[in-house]
Each structure stands twice: as structure tokens, then as C-alpha cells.
Structure 1
Amino acid sequence: MTTQAPEYRLLAKLEAAFDRLVERAEALVDTWRLSNAESWTFETAPADAAWLHRALLDFWYQDGQDGRSTRSYIGLFAANEAVMEKLGAVNAAKKAFAEQLAEIRREVPGLIPEIKAVLPFRHPALHAHLHGVGLARLHLKQCWRAIPAAPAEVSRIRLAWYTSGRSIKRLSVRDAERMLLALDSDAAHVRIQLRTLAGLPDSEPLAQVQPQAPLMRANLFFREPLDNGHSRQAMNVALPLFVPTANGQLPDINQPPRHPPEKRTRAKRSDARLEDTPLLPSLRIYRYRDR
């Protein structure tokens, strides 16, 4: 009997984790359907089990999609104890999938392209439906991102767009050099940026800027204070939010604007101190103005 190569054992474990994720997500949808509970979505499509199935099992790239971005499905679903139990099982499966994927990234990162191409075939119904519209490649982050859940019964929910603009990560010159060298160091544009970086003192701080898309945030107001004494909580809701309830009804909900504000309403942060033009365009790294 031949011994299975370590990379294929890891792949087999990931395949099993993906199977459990799909099966548990489908069980969650079925359990919610049978509960006859209330639901609401931000979309014009009805907030039914078919919409929920599409939201929870959208694990795919769309043509031209940025690999760093994920699609949002904004909705609220009243959940009894059975639904919340199934939801916990789905999120546990997502965590196990993420852990298995992290091990593969550490041990055999070359398997990642194969994973994205092969895993969809394990569920022919999903693959056959999506392949015809250019969605046959797996989006790993959309597999493992957790489904949000309110920790207790809620009296009202207020939804609002949150526009943070961009995130800023402070870096050293050596950090930036390592990041450039991780790119194709033989490429002309990378060599030019390495020469630019070599002209800076090692002590100069730099900033890497990552644009962030607007997101929907739910402000939850609980019927009773939580164990920590808090009576409200805010959470991002890129996936449907499940709200525990004993009567199958949703709490009071506001109707947020259809589109996020074009401009930020909050005061500018430290990004105003950055130069207008990036020092290292390939990495979106800037110098500070007040050097």
C-alpha cells in the first residue's frame, strides 16, 4: 500500500471541511425555512429561503472581482433556538475550514490554485449552476467569513452606512524593502522602487494605505443588558444577521439609504499628513508630509 503524500492528506482534510461547511449551511437554510420566522433584506429580492441560500453559499469569484474584496448580503433573519444552533454549527465549520486552509498556506502554499479549481466540483449542483455564469472558481475568504448573530434578544436595530475611507499601516523602510523584494525583483518597475527606497534613511516612517469600501453597520439595542452590562452593540453585517427571538418576529428596524454617502462625514485622520503621490506605487506606500 502506497503512503499518501502529505500535501494530498492536507487537501483531503480541506475537502472534508468544505463538505461539512456546505452541508451545515444548507441545514441552516432548511431549519430557518421550517421556522416560518420573519426576515428582511436590503435588496429588492424577497427575503426568503432562496435568498438566504444564495447569500450563505456564495463562495465564488465573479469575473473581474478583486480577490481582496467580498460581496455583501445585507439582511436580518429572526431565529429560534434550533436556527441559532445550526448557525453555531456553520460558523464552527467555517473556523475549521479557515484553520485547515491556514495550515496548507504554511506547509504547501502551491496547493492554493488547485484548491480554488477543484473544491467546487465536490458539489455538482452548485458547480453546474454557477459554472455557466463564470463563477466556477472558489473565493476562499467568502467561504470562511463568519455569519453575524446577535448575542441576545433585541428591541430595535438601527442600520447605517459606515465609510472609513482607508486604513493606514505604519511601516519602516526595511518593512517596505522586504515587501518589494517579495514581488518580482527582476521587474523594471520594482527595481526602480527599490532604488527610490534606498535613498531614504532607515529611521523614516512610511505608511501603507488600503482603500476600504463602505459597509453596513447594525446598531443593536438589547431588551435587557448583557452580562457585561452593555445595553447596545454595533457590528458589521456583510452577511445576513441572525436575531434570536422566541416569537419568530424581528425587532423594529429602520430603512437606511440605498447608497452610502459619497463623502465621509467624519474628520480626516492621519492620512491627511501623507503626501498626495505614493512613494512606492506597487505597494500603495506613502511618505509623511511632516518629516
Structure 2
Amino acid sequence: MSHVNAPEYRLLAELEAAFDTLIENTEALLAAYARSPGEAWAFQAEATTEWLRQALLDFWYQDGQDGRVTRSHVGLVAADDALLERVAAVNVAKAEFAALLGRIREAHPPLIAEIKAVLPFRRPELHQHLRGSGLARLHLKQCWRAIPVAEAPVARVRLAWYASGRSIKRLTVREAERKLLALDTDAPHVRIQLRKLAGLPGSEPLAQVQGQAPLMRANLFFTEPLADGRTRRALNVALPVFIPAPRGRLPHCNEPPATPPETRTRARRRDERLEAEPFLPSLRIHRYRQDMA
């Protein structure tokens, strides 16, 4: 790693140690489960100890994988207190790893690509996965995403596809103009959008909308109300959910459809704040509805 100064070397050394801790804690979790496995369920797979290992150690890009996309391993695992302690230790390690990555992104962004390629060689047993498997380098987000945990015993779980997710970023007219000017301003459709934008007052807020890939959502119904009165919790599921179960038994769970719906399943909210059609289609930028102002 060339052109790295002493403070950045220290950050890298900390990251390597954090990666080792993450792997060691994950291995300890898997060993604890193998010694005393509770019930488990996997979506469209057999819930074996090997399935759980693959799910919790899936840190790799596959050939051709979009860097913005993460793979999901939907499932449920019944966990006693000892196993839940192991899960908590893994999540702490993931959070520390993510925090160090954030510092490195700010201090020396070019190092990130090298980190993805070099870190796997620190763990030879993991690097075996790379040989002939179409796995190229670390997918950092898949390393640090937390393992979901139910905070109390659960009576039943309802799984459902959520296909209407989106992220909304608020923009000023000036920011939208800069984004348009970064496109091909000789193109007629860009010039049309610049003229439309010029007709807006500079103080009007705009919203850039990004649709999100379908994901699985778990609705957990607790056996008893929590201290704050909640009786249920909804969470997005990318990794197996660990559920407190002293007797090692899972609650009832439905079998969701194999694939997400092709069309929107939720009715559009009557209080939707954005206009349905984008004002600047090239950038997915919408105006806020004037009757909601």
C-alpha cells in the first residue's frame, strides 16, 4: 500500500485487528450453535449449521455483483441466553469495524479498494472460499451489517415482501441545477428540464427519489408487551433473526412467496407529499405537492 502515512498505517492496523475480532467472534457464535443447536428455519433452504455458517460469513462480492446490492439470507434461529451473548459480541465487532472503515474513507479513500482485496488473506480459512467460487473480494457492507435480534420472546412471526421502499433526498433548486448541468447539456431533454427548473422560485424545495430493491420484512409479535407497551416490531431481514427461546423452539412463522410481487401491493397514501410524476425525469427529482405545503 503505497503513499500511506503513519496515521493511516495505524488506522489500517486497527482495521485488520477489528476484522480478526469480527471473524473470531462469528466463529465463536457458530461453534456455540453447533454445540447446542436450537430450532432454525431458512427461507427456501435447509436450515443446517452449514447454512448458518454461509449466511453469517457471506462477506464476498460475486462476479458481476452490483456493488450497491447485498445478498440476503432470510431465516430464524431460536437462541438461548448464551447464544444471544455471542450474537451481541458479533454485532459490537461489526459496529467497530464499520466505524473504522468510516474513518479510513475520510482519511484515505483510495485505500478502500485495496482493503477489499487484502483483508481476506489474513484469514486463510476464509480465503479458501475464493478459489473457483466466483468470489472476488470483500463486500464491506456485508461484513458490517448487524445480525437482527428480537429483544424479547416472540409468539409468532409474519414475513412479507416489501417492494415499495424508496429513499428521498431533499434538494434545493440550485443543487438540482448543478446536477442537470453535470449531464449532457447539449441533449434536448436536458435543455427542456433546465428551462422547467428556471421557472421555479429558488426557495422551493425538491426531492430526489431512489427506488430500493425488494426486501423481506419480519413482523415480530411478542408473547408479552414490552416495558414501553409495544406488542410487535417490524424489521427488515437480510440475515437470520435470532429469537430468545430458552427451550430452543421457534414461534409459528408463515411461508412467504418465493419472489416479491411485480407490482406495488400497498395503496398509495392519500397524504403522499410528492407529486406522482417526476419534475426532472433524468434525475428522478419530484416537486412537493402544493396542496400539501
Equivalent pairs counted in the alignment come to 280
Separation (CA, whole Å) in 2 of partners of 1:70 and 1:197? 35
Q: 1:162 to 1:195 in 2, by over 3 A?
A: closer
Is 2:230 aligned against 1:230? yes
Which residue of structure 1 aligns with residue 287 of structure 2?
288
Separation (CA, whole Å) in 1 of partners of 2:275 and 2:203? 18
Separation (CA, whole Å) in 2 of partners of 1:179 and 1:124? 45
SS in 1 for 2:228: coil
Supply the AA of the counterpart residue of 2:129. Answer: H
Which residue of structure 2 aligns with residue 41 of structure 1?
42
Which residue of structure 1 aligns with residue 28 of structure 2?
27
Contact 1:39 1:250 in 2 (8 A): yes
Contact 1:60 1:139 in 2 (8 A): yes
CA shift, 1:4, in A, is 6.5
CA shift, 1:214, in A, is 1.4
Supply the AA of the counterpart residue of 1:286. Answer: I
1:24-58 deviation per Cα after TM superposition (whole angstroms, max 9, x unaligned): 111111111111211000123x2111111111111
1:93-115 deviation per Cα after TM superposition (whole angstroms, max 9, x unaligned): 00000110111111111211111
Please give the residue correspondences for 1:197-216 in structure 2 after superposition, counting only pairs within 5 Å: 197=194, 200=198, 201=200, 202-216=202-216
Supply the AA of the counterpart residue of 1:11. Answer: L
SS in 1 for 2:261: coil
Separation (CA, whole Å) in 2 of partners of 1:93 and 1:180? 41
Is 2:8 aligned against 1:13? no
Separation (CA, whole Å) in 1 of partners of 2:106 and 2:234? 34
Is 2:184 aligned against 1:189? yes
Please give the residue correspondences for 1:90-239 in structure 2 after superposition, counting only pairs within 5 Å: 90-177=90-177, 189=184, 197=194, 200=198, 201=200, 202-239=202-239
Separation (CA, whole Å) in 1 of partners of 2:180 and 2:8? 29
Contact 1:120 1:126 in 2 (8 A): yes
1:192-217 deviation per Cα after TM superposition (whole angstroms, max 9, x unaligned): 66996486243343331212111111
Which residue of structure 1 aligns with residue 245 of structure 2?
245
Separation (CA, whole Å) in 1 of partners of 2:7 and 2:177? 34
In the superposition, the TM-score normalised over structure 1's length comes to: 0.86
Q: 1:147 to 1:275 in 2, by over 3 A?
A: same
Separation (CA, whole Å) in 1 of partners of 2:231 and 2:99? 33
In the superposition, the TM-score normalised over structure 2's length comes to: 0.86
Separation (CA, whole Å) in 1 of partners of 2:279 and 2:231? 44
Supply the AA of the counterpart residue of 1:164. Answer: S
Supply the AA of the counterpart residue of 1:50. Answer: E
Which residue of structure 1 aligns with residue 275 of structure 2?
273
Q: 1:275 to 1:222 in 2, by over 3 A?
A: closer
Range moving further from structure 2, 169-178 or 248-257: 169-178
SS in 2 for 1:25: helix
SS in 2 for 1:248: coil
Separation (CA, whole Å) in 2 of partners of 1:171 and 1:158? 37
Please give the residue correspondences for 1:67-82 in structure 2 after superposition, counting only pairs within 5 Å: 67-82=67-82
Range moving further from structure 2, 130-139 or 66-75: 130-139
Separation (CA, whole Å) in 2 of partners of 1:203 and 1:118? 48
SS in 2 for 1:61: strand
CA shift, 1:260, in A, is 1.5
The sequence identity of aligned pairs, in percent, is 59
Separation (CA, whole Å) in 2 of partners of 1:52 and 1:236? 18
Separation (CA, whole Å) in 2 of partners of 1:165 and 1:96? 28
Supply the AA of the counterpart residue of 1:288. Answer: R
Range moving further from structure 2, 194-203 or 163-172: 194-203
SS in 1 for 2:105: helix
Separation (CA, whole Å) in 2 of partners of 1:4 and 1:170? 37
CA shift, 1:143, in A, is 0.9
CA shift, 1:274, in A, is 4.4
Separation (CA, whole Å) in 1 of partners of 2:17 and 2:128? 20
Structure 2 stretches lacking a partner, 5+ long: none
Q: 1:288 to 1:88 in 2, by over 3 A?
A: same
Alignment RMSD: 2.6
